[in-house]
Structure 1
Amino acid sequence: MAEAPPRREPVLVRHLARIVDVALAVLTLVFFVTVALATGVQSPWRAVIPLGLLLGALLLVRRRRPMAVLLLSIGGIFVYRLTGHWSPAGWIWPAAVAYFTAAATPRVRWVAVIGLAQLLYSAADIRHVLDSNPTRFLFHVAGEGLLLAVLIAAGLSYAAAMRWRERLRETDSRARAAEERLRVSHEVHDIIAHTLAVVGVQLNVAADTLQEDPAAAAAALRLAKDVRNRAMTDLRSLLTTLRDTAPQPDLASLGTLIADARAAGLEVTLDEHGDAAAVPAAPAVALYRVVQESLANTLKHAQASKAEVTIGYQPHSITVVITDNGRGALGGAEVTEGHGLAGMRERVSALGGALTAGPNSGGGFAVRADIPVAGSAA
């Protein structure tokens, strides 16, 4: 079944995110240059400002390419240091926002590895002060390590908070959908009850006046017909709403369907061929319903002990065959198509496919459906 399209954030949220990114970019540039000038760095246009501009500009795309932004930021810092320029802000801080952003992604382990490698290089870079000032060396390495740990922990916490918020949003959405389905079911009940009551009264009137007053009987029947037509229109509208809000089964649910049939005492085998991953939503639901109704009919009517479900996934169509070892049609009698078979046929025909059902040549009953998938809506 096709995946749902990614959820888009509201326009206001996207604008605020851009404002935050621009603000972080400006703060990174300003703070880096300010610290450099305050510590006596001369000629900031030679290296300090270009590095600050690079670090700030990269933050403008940090949400789309977090790992690339982190690696390019670290690369810029390395080039700056390896060309003989001193960084008063250390090795980790200039890329702090990049570290935080990348740590909030599933690649947080790589972020930790990259940070550790940068820390080791930072310690090696300042090793010349180890003999003369070990306290400075210790504070430098410990401070950089603590900052890295805080950034990674903050990124992990932010990602966990976002996942929790998304779960709350999904739970709220499911609750609203359930409430809507409950509301629709109540309305369906009310419509049916009202319609049956009115139609019943008018039919009684028609029956009582048919001989004595045919005109009154005809008027009663017309009123019953009008009520029935209005009710059908309302029901179609409500059922469309109910269908849109109800969760639809997909091919991953076939296993549960087979397990339920086995639990009911039917020995079912499932044989699938081809790639089911590319099947769009509408054919997937139709396939599921065909298998579901066929197994239900087998359990209710066929007196079968075994059933086989064979599904072939082709690039442009799906073929599903359900057979059982039940009694089939007694005495070779013509198959009576009830609501279940009719519903399956209508569902498959609506997609441009075909369904056949009848006694199997080797005994039992067989249902075969050919469902096209080319051009189906995903």
Structure 2
Amino acid sequence: MRAIPRPVLVDVLLAVVLTGLTLATLVDASGSAAPWPAYALAVLTAAPLALRQRAPVVVMAVIGAALAAYSLLGYGDYPNSGVGILIAMFTVATLRPRNVAAAMFLTVMAVVAAACVTSRTDVAWTSAAQSALQVIGAWVLGESTRRWGDRTRRLAERATRAVADERVRIARELHDIVAHHMAVISLQAGVAQYVIDTDVATARKAITTVGDTSREALTEMRRLLDVLRLEDASELAPQPGLAALDDLVDRTRGAGLPVDVVVTGRERALPPGPDLCAYRVAQESLTNALKHAGPATARIDLDYGERTLTLKVTDDGTAARPRRESPTSHGIRGMRERAELYGGVLTAGPADEGGFAVVVRLPLNEAR
């Protein structure tokens, strides 16, 4: 059996209570001599509120029509002082567009005017003005509630997007950490297995590299997890940057890929974001060369311009690249997203002279 939503139950309870009070008020005012149509119209000024969130415009129209008929038939003042129409006006302003609420407001004002025309008291127009102010107050309150709800939804959507963006950033960091270190470990383990019976010294060196690389990967993973747990970050090492480029190059050379580094321009400290971006691009490019270039050498050209940092990583590998190494592959797409995050541009693809080339240009305006 399907459960009834709680808001519907609340509306039904509100309608039942208000209908009961309306009938009690009508009995006290007119006694048992009131005609039965008066009781029926009094019920219609409150009972439809049970459906106010399902069909707010229809509910308000029914209540307005009942009030108009009650006044035109000369049954006296509104049986519930117009509370039902105020609640209906608030609901329409909350759940429907402003133009619909305005149309319903004009309808209510027509009902009030009709009541004033049929009234024979001197204070009829004063009461009409008071009723108009009450309806406007309900409209404004409903409009404010709708705006608050819209703002809350926008904030929730923004928070959801922020969580998704953070997940992508974390996934990118994990990819950069795991892909590079596992590529080195896999290559060195293969070397050790190949030469363990013929060249013990080389095998021992390869196994040492595997141990050092795995410990470094675990350290970076632990640092990332500690940050995610929101623990005290004061004891954590900073994110890597171009200052750690020499260690990255040494580790790559140890994995079997010769790497040359050429630095031009005035070397200087960079803002943390572009610094990490440049390092990760170099790391991912060298990892791809290790995995896909075959027997090759690599070169890193690092140019510190006045306004732009240019990092170029090339290799002269001749091995056939798998399709995932295309410029739209996951790793290259991640590098391009990193670069665009800091206003940079990244290009990647086969070099004219053979091999593969990755070039990233990052603006350095923040560093000045």
**TM-score, normalised via structure 2 length:** 0.49
Greater relative contact order (Cα 8 A, min sep 6): structure 1 or 2? Answer: 1
Who wins on radius of gyration, i.e. which is larger?
2
